[in-house]
Amino acid sequence: MTNEEWYDAELAPALKALADRCNERGMSLVAVAEYEPDERGGTYSLTPEAGLAMQMLRFLGHAGENVDAFWLALRRHCTKRGIDTSQSIVMGIGS
């Protein structure tokens, strides 16, 4: 059994169960496992009230090594939610 197969069979369901328990209490959970270099699996369960840091962790988990994907997701989220990023040097690049 490969690490990915083990992750899918064993770890992902356990993380999903933990995420469900957290969600029942109004808590968000982000978990990312790297089962091989640059190969990941993740469980993302965010409440509607999840803070920006939790959203950023989710964006990073999805983007992996693609920094542009992270920044684009972050920019879209901030724009959609009306989060002021005017004081950020990085968020001002390319806008």
Question: pLDDT over 90 for what percent of the chain?
Answer: 83
**What's the predicted TM-score (pTM) here?**
0.82
Q: What is the rounded CA–CA span in Å between residue 7 and residue 33?
A: 8
Mean pLDDT of the chain: 92
29, 45 contact by CB (below 8 A)? yes
Q: Reply yes or no on whether the pLDDT at 76 is more than 60.
A: yes
Sort 35 into a burial class: Cβ within 10 Å, 0-12 / 13-18 / 19+: middle
> Could you report the per-residue pLDDT of 34-70, keeping only the tens digit for each?
999 989 999 999 999 999 999 999 999 999 899 999 9
State the pLDDT at residue 89.
Answer: 82
The Cα–Cα gap between 16 and 36 comes to 20
Backbone angles phi, psi at 36, to 5 degrees: -145, 160
